[in-house]
Each structure stands twice: as structure tokens, then as C-alpha cells.
């Protein structure tokens, strides 16, 4: 049940996208998202879709697997559609009762769905092809200049990698506790919302306790191995840009420029 | 009146690159009142198997029958199944959540929709059965020792009065004393109520002395299914799959090899004692 959420998960396989430097993938995701919000006609989205399709193909992650994780987000997507559809003022197309659908509303709603869907798929390509450790390593290195501003870059990266590392563990734990309580006749599914909320207590209390226990154990283990923050800490596998990363950067900027040009120049 | 497994297989992570076949074509009959030891190396599929028995996991293929009914039937009452087949998970103390021991044990029977009086009677009875001292009943479960917590968790399942009790590594992480106490309670429980017990373990020592039948699992398949004495005859094969026969078996085999006329198939310490004294005295 919980395993179905693939957002933020890593999909293990061997591909060019997997091998890219995490900084390239981070920058790529940001560029892709920026491009999505630059378009104001349909053409740009076609370009973005083609680009995304190529990247997904190269990443060798099954598209079905990617979509599976999006089901839970569909709901949020639907809400934005409904709000945009009914609450945008403009030229009325259909109206019934107190609601009216406008031409502008349809346009904005359609754009919103495409943008958000592509944004989600685009960022899940990054998380699916980058191990959490690699990802935070990349972030740490990309954010290093901010150290001048006395931002604790290493600590933030460490917190993030621990948080990411604990997602699957806590999910597994949730699954286990859920099963244990189901075995004792617990019912998480039936009843109204209050009953359901109350049914969560036997799940959440043990989960919190175990999260604290794990946090405590981890802190101990880190101290026992003389962890003392980022100063003077070296990496076992330092990130180094390779030729393919340079090519990837070029491709990215070509995409950004190309797709915006197409969007602005075509009518 | 039994549990029957008919060609049961289970695959984790169906369509991903990480798909793992955890159970492969398991056929079993578990008659009423039997005391079974389910043994296997880590990852051999024993925990997966027991989760099928109370319907927490659905078999990828094959069917499971409890008392003659297919538990995968749409209109089968799975909640009732879970009360009949009590499953105590590994480290069951991690599931405790109530503010005192007694209310935690009440959780199971309360979910069955029993009256308050019946619920409390059952909880009290279950806590007595696992041998928890009465002064602990109204303490916070988090103030108890590891062994005591575990007993509370076992009581939480016992309070549902299951016909089949499955214990997944009930002695993991306990010291030798706690280990022995838990095992003794389980044996006592079986003598008193005659329920079917399945004891999952990776330690032969734990089970050799008590069980009627041993199931050895390896790579999702049942490797041996026999009485302990017969299973331990294969001690060399057991070693090759990361298990070991009880130490007694090794001693008896060595004695035999050294020319002493003992029966090398003695499985428990007391049997071995008898054999050796028979030869020597």
C-alpha cells in the first residue's frame, strides 16, 4: 500500500542519466521547471514533452513505474483544475447555477495541468535516477558558495540525506506496525473521518517512538565515529565533472533556448 | 479443521527490476493442535509465509484454506481470520501504544467487538498466561524490561483467543534467561489450551526440544518437512544453507565416530544424556 508511492524513490538501473553528475541533474531539473513557466503558447509544451520523453527513454526507468507514484498527487491536480476552471473571470462559455466556465479558465486550467504534471514527472526523473546520497552530495557542492554567508551548508546537506535515508526505513516501519495492528484486529479503512483519525493512534504512537529511538541510535553511532560537522571532512567519492556532464549542460541550455525561441516565435 | 496451502507463491515488487520471488510453490497441511517449528536462514521466506496464513499478504498465485474456506474469497471475513490465526510479529514490543499495559492488551479483543467485561476478562487472562507479574498491569508499557514488553505484546494477541498462534522469532534479542522464560510460557500455553503453534526461528536449539514437526525453508521453498529427529539427520545439508543442527547432534555424531555405540539421532540434551549413560554405565 505505502510502497506504491514512488515519488522521491530511487530506481536502480544502468543508464546515461544515472551516471550523470548529480549537479547536472539538479541544474537540469531547475532549468526544465523554469522553461515550463516561460511558455505561454502550446508549442513550448510540445518541445518540453519531447525533451522529457527523450530523457525518460534514456534513463531506462519504465514510464509505468513513474506514473504509478503520481496517482496520489492526481487529487491535488484535480483541485487546481476545478478552482481555475470555475474561478477565472472572462468570456463565459458555459454557465449553470452560480458557476460559470470561462474561456480563460479552460486555458489556464489546461496549462496548469500540463505544467504541474510535467513538473512532477521532470523532478521524479531526477530522484528516480539519483541515489539520495548522490543528490545531497550534489546539493552540498552546488551550495558551497553560500558558506560565505555563514550558511551551514554541510549540516543542511547532512540533515537532508539523513531525512531522505529514513524515508524508506520509516515506510517499512509503518508497514510493519500497520500489519501488527491489523493482526490484532485493527481497522484502518472503514468508518467516518473521525473514526479513521482515531484508528491512526495505534499506528502513529509506535511510529513516533521508533523514529525517536532510531534518531537517538544514529546520533550515538555518529558520535562514536567522531562525527563533528563539515569542517575538514573529506569525501570518499568526491564529485568530479566528466565530459558527459559538459555535454549534458550544453544540451540543457540548447533545450532552454530552443524551446523558448519556438514558443515565442511560432504564433 | 486445518490450514492448507495449495501451490502458494509470492513475488515482491512485481514489475520492477527488484522483483524477488519470496515463496515458490508451497504446499502444506497444518493440522489442528500441532506444534511446528518453522526454520530458515534470514531471507528464506519464513516471515512472508506466516503473513499469508492470516491474510496480511495475498498470495501471488495459489490458494490458502482455513477450516475448509478459501481465505481469498471476496466475502471471506478476514477480520475474523485474524482473530483465529494470531500472529505475533518480530519485536512485537514495537507495536505497543497505550498508556498502560492492560489497555494495550485490551486493544485486540475490543476490535473484535466484545463487551467491556469480556474484553477485560480476556486481557487479564492473557496477561496471567504470559506470566507477567500483576503489579505491572497498570504501568506504562514503556517502563517495562525488554522481556516483559514482549510478553505484553504476546498477551495482546493471546487475548483474541486464537486457534492458531504464530510467533515470529519470539526470542530474538532477548538474553538467555528471557529466552527460556518465553519458550517455557509457550510450551505451557500449548499444554493448557492445546492450540496450534507455529514457532518461527532460525535457531534449531530453540525449537528442537519442543516441536512435533520442523519445516526448513530455503530460498522460498520447503526443504525439509519432518519430525525433528529426521530433519537433524540432514545436519550437513542444513549447514550448507546457513543453518545448524543443535549442538547435541554434533556431539552425538562425534561420539559415534569415536567408536561409542550411541544413537546419534538424539535431538535433545536429555535424550543425549540417557543415550550416553546407557552406553557408559
Query: What confidence tens digit (pLDDT) does each residue in A218-244 have?
Result: 999 999 999 988 777 888 888 888 899
Whether B13 has a pLDDT exceeding 80, the answer reads: no
Closest CA to B21 of B49, B51, B56: B49
Mean pLDDT over the full length of chain B: 88
Question: Quick one: average pLDDT of B118-147?
Answer: 91
Contact A184 B95 (CB under 8 A): yes
The more confident residue out of B257 and A93 is B257
Q: Rounded to an integer, what distance in angstroms lies between the CA atom of residue B266 and that of residue B208? A: 10
Contact A206 B95 (CB under 8 A): yes
Instruction: Name the residue ranges covered by the structural domains of chain A.
Output: 1-130+239-267, 153-236
Q: Is any Cβ of chain B less than 8 angstroms from the Cβ of A218?
A: no
Residue B86 contacts residue B140 (beta carbons within 8 Å): no
Radius of gyration of chain B (CA): 20
Q: Rounded to an integer, what distance in angstroms lies between the CA atom of residue B224 and that of residue B231? A: 7
Contact A182 B56 (CB under 8 A): yes
The more confident residue out of B234 and A190 is B234
Q: Is any Cβ of chain A less than 8 angstroms from the Cβ of B47?
A: no
Q: Rounded to an integer, what distance in angstroms lies between the CA atom of residue A54 and that of residue A244? A: 16
pLDDT for B117: 95
Centroid of chain to Cα A229 = 27
Least confident of B37-46, B146-155, B162-171, B243-252: B243-252
Contact B56 A176 (CB under 8 A): no
Grid coordinates of B159: 487475548
Residues of chain B with Cβ-Cβ distance to A182 below 8 Å are: 56, 82
Work out the minimum CA distance from B92 to partner chain A, whole angstroms. 8
Closest CA to B182 of B228, B246, B173: B173
Q: How confident is the model at residue A8 (pLDDT cuts 50, 70, 90)?
A: low
Beta-ladder partners of B122: none
Long-range contacts for A4-8 (Cβ within 8 Å, ≥24 apart)? Answer: A4/A68, A4/A69, A4/A71, A4/A72, A5/A69, A5/A72, A6/A65, A6/A66, A6/A68, A6/A69, A6/A124, A6/A128, A7/A69, A7/A70, A7/A72, A7/A73, A7/A120, A7/A124, A7/A127, A8/A124, A8/A127, A8/A164, A8/A167
Q: Which of helix, strand or coil describes residue B57?
A: coil
CB atoms within 10 A of CB A9: 19
pLDDT for A166: 85
Of B17, B79, B94, the CB nearest to A185: B79
Least confident of A64-78, B61-75, B216-230: A64-78
Grid coordinates of A200: 491512526
Work out the minimum CA distance from A220 to partner chain B, whole angstroms. 20
Work out the minimum CA distance from B239 to partner chain A, whole angstroms. 30
Which chain B residues in 89-148 lie under 8 Å from chain A, judged by CB atoms? Answer: 89, 92, 94-97, 107-108, 111-112, 142
pLDDT for A25: 92
Question: Quick one: average pLDDT of A106-132?
Answer: 86
Contact A185 B82 (CB under 8 A): yes
Question: Quick one: average pLDDT of B2-15?
Answer: 86
Beta-ladder partners of B23: B10
Whether A254 has a pLDDT exceeding 80, the answer reads: yes
Which chain B residues in 177-216 lie under 8 Å from chain A, judged by CB atoms? Answer: none
Q: How confident is the model at residue B86 (pLDDT cuts 50, 70, 90)?
A: very high
Whether A2 has a pLDDT exceeding 60, the answer reads: no
Whether B87 has a pLDDT exceeding 90, the answer reads: yes
pLDDT for A187: 85
Q: How confident is the model at residue B213 (pLDDT cuts 50, 70, 90)?
A: very high
Q: How confident is the model at residue A7 (pLDDT cuts 50, 70, 90)?
A: low
pLDDT for B27: 93
Of B56, B87, B97, the CB nearest to A205: B97
Contact A206 B87 (CB under 8 A): no
Substitution target in B11, B95, B110 with the highest count of A β-carbons within 10 Å is B95
Question: Quick one: average pLDDT of B141-168?
Answer: 91
The more confident residue out of A42 and B100 is B100
Grid coordinates of A213: 529511538
Whether A105 has a pLDDT exceeding 60, the answer reads: yes
Contact B107 A187 (CB under 8 A): no
Contact A179 B160 (CB under 8 A): no
pLDDT for B15: 64
Running DSSP on this structure, what letter comes out for residue B202?
S
Q: Is any Cβ of chain A less than 8 angstroms from the Cβ of B86?
A: yes
pLDDT for B156: 93
CATH number of B1-76+163-231: 3.40.50.300
Q: Rounded to an integer, what distance in angstroms lies between the CA atom of residue A141 and that of residue A136? A: 8
Contact B18 A62 (CB under 8 A): no
pLDDT for B247: 83
Whether B230 has a pLDDT exceeding 80, the answer reads: yes
Whether B47 has a pLDDT exceeding 60, the answer reads: yes
Q: Rounded to an integer, what distance in angstroms lies between the CA atom of residue A22 and that of residue A139? A: 8
Whether B133 has a pLDDT exceeding 60, the answer reads: yes
Q: How confident is the model at residue B16 (pLDDT cuts 50, 70, 90)?
A: low
Work out the minimum CA distance from B46 to partner chain A, whole angstroms. 15
Q: Is any Cβ of chain B less than 8 angstroms from the Cβ of A186?
A: yes
Instruction: Name the residue ranges covered by the structural domains of chain B.
Output: 1-76+163-231, 95-160, 246-281
What phi and psi values does residue B221 have, to the nearest 5 degrees? Answer: -125, 155
Of B15, B82, B96, the CB nearest to A183: B82
Percentage of the residues of chain B whose pLDDT score is greater than 90: 39
Q: Is any Cβ of chain A less than 8 angstroms from the Cβ of B15?
A: yes
Long-range contacts for A138-146 (Cβ within 8 Å, ≥24 apart)? Answer: A138/A21, A138/A22, A138/A23, A138/A25, A138/A26, A138/A239, A139/A22, A139/A26, A141/A23, A141/A239, A142/A23, A142/A26, A142/A27
Contact A184 B15 (CB under 8 A): no
pLDDT for A1: 42
Substitution target in A180, A201, A212 with the highest count of B β-carbons within 10 Å is A180
Amino acid at each position: 500500500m505505502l510502497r506504491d508511492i514512488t515519488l522521491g524513490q530511487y530506481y536502480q538501473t544502468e543508464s546515461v542519466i544515472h551516471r550523470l553528475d548529480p549537479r547536472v541533474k539538479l541544474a537540469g531539473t531547475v532549468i526544465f521547471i523554469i522553461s515550463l513557466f516561460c511558455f505561454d503558447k502550446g508549442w513550448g509544451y510540445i518541445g518540453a514533452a519531447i525533451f522529457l520523453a527523450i530523457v525518460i527513454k534514456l534513463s531506462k526507468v519504465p514510464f509505468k513505474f513513474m506514473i504509478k507514484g503520481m496517482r496520489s498527487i492526481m487529487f491535488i491536480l484535480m483541485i487546481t483544475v476545478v478552482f481555475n476552471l470555475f474561478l477565472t473571470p472572462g468570456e463565459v462559455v458555459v454557465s449553470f447555477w452560480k458557476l460559470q466556465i470561462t474561456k480563460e479558465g479552460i486555458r489556464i486550467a489546461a496549462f496548469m495541468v500540463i505544467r504541474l504534471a510535467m513538473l512532477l514527472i521532470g523532478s521524479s526523473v531526477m530522484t528516480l535516477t539519483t541515489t539520495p546520497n548522490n543528490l545531497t552530495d550534489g546539493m552540498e557542492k552546488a551550495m558551497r558558495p553560500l558558506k560565505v554567508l555563514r550558511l551551514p551548508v554541510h549540516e543542511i546537506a547532512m540533515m537532508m540525506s539523513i531525512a531522505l535515508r529514513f524515508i524508506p526505513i520509516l515506510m517499512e516501519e509503518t508497514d510493519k506496525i500497520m500489519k501488527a495492528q491489523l493482526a490484532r484486529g485493527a481497522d484502518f479503512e472503514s468508518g467516518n473521518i473521525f473514526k479513521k483519525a482515531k484508528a491512526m493512534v495505534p499506528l502513529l504512537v509506535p511510529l513516533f517512538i521508533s523514529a525517536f529511538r532510531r534518531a537517538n541510535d544514529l546520533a550515538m553511532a555518529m558520535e562514536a565515529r567522531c562525527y563533528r560537522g563539515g569542517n575538514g571532512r573529506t569525501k570518499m567519492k568526491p564529485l568530479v565533472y566528466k565530459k558527459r556532464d559538459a555535454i549534458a549542460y550544453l544540451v540543457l541550455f540548447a533545450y532552454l533556448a530552443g524551446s523558448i525561441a519556438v514558443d515565442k516565435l511560432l504564433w | 479443521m486445518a490450514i492448507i496451502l495449495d501451490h502458494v507463491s509470492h513475488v515482491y515488487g512485481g514489475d520492477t527490476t527488484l522483483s524477488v520471488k519470496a515463496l515458490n510453490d508451497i504446499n502444506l497441511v497444518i493440522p489442528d493442535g500441532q506444534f511446528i517449528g518453522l526454520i530458515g536462514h534470514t531471507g528464506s521466506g519464513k516471515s512472508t509465509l506466516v503473513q499469508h496464513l492470516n491474510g496480511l499478504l495475498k498470495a501471488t498465485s495459489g490458494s490458502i484454506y482455513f477450516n475448509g474456506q478459501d481465505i481469498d474469497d471476496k466475502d471471506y471475513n478476514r477480520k475474523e481470520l485474524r482473530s483465529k490465526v494470531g500472529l505475533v510479529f518480530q519485536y512485537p514490543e514495537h507495536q505497543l501504544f497505550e498508556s498502560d499495559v492492560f489497555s494495550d492488551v485490551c486493544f485486540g479483543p475490543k476490535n473484535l467487538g466484545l463487551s467491556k467485561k469480556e474484553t477485560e476478562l480476556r486481557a487479564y487472562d492473557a496477561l496471567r498466561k504470559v506470566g507477567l507479574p500483576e503489579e505491572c498491569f497498570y504501568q506504562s508499557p514503556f517502563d517495562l524490561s525488554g522481556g516483559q514488553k514482549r510478553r505484553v505484546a504476546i498477551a495482546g494477541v493471546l487475548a483474541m483467543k486464537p486457534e492458531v498462534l504464530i510467533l515470529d522469532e519470539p526470542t530474538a534479542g532477548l538474553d538467555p534467561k528471557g529466552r527460556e522464560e518465553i519458550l517455557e510460557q509457550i510450551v505451557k500455553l500449548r499444554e493448557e489450551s492445546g492450540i496450534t503453534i507455529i514457532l518461527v526461528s532460525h535457531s534449531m536449539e530453540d525449537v528442537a526440544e519442543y516441536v512435533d514437526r520442523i519445516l526448513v525453508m530455503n530460498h522460498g521453498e520447503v526443504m525439509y518437512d519432518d519430525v525433528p529427529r529426521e530433519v537433524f539427520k540432514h545436519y550437513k545439508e542444513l549447514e550448507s544453507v546457513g543453518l545448524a543442527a543443535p549442538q547435541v547432534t554434533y556431539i552425538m555424531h562425534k561420539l559415534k565416530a569415536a567408536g561409542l555405540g550411541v544413537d546419534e539421532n538424539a535431538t535433545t540434551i536429555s535424550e543425549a544424556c540417557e543415550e550416553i549413560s546407557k552406553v557408559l554405565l
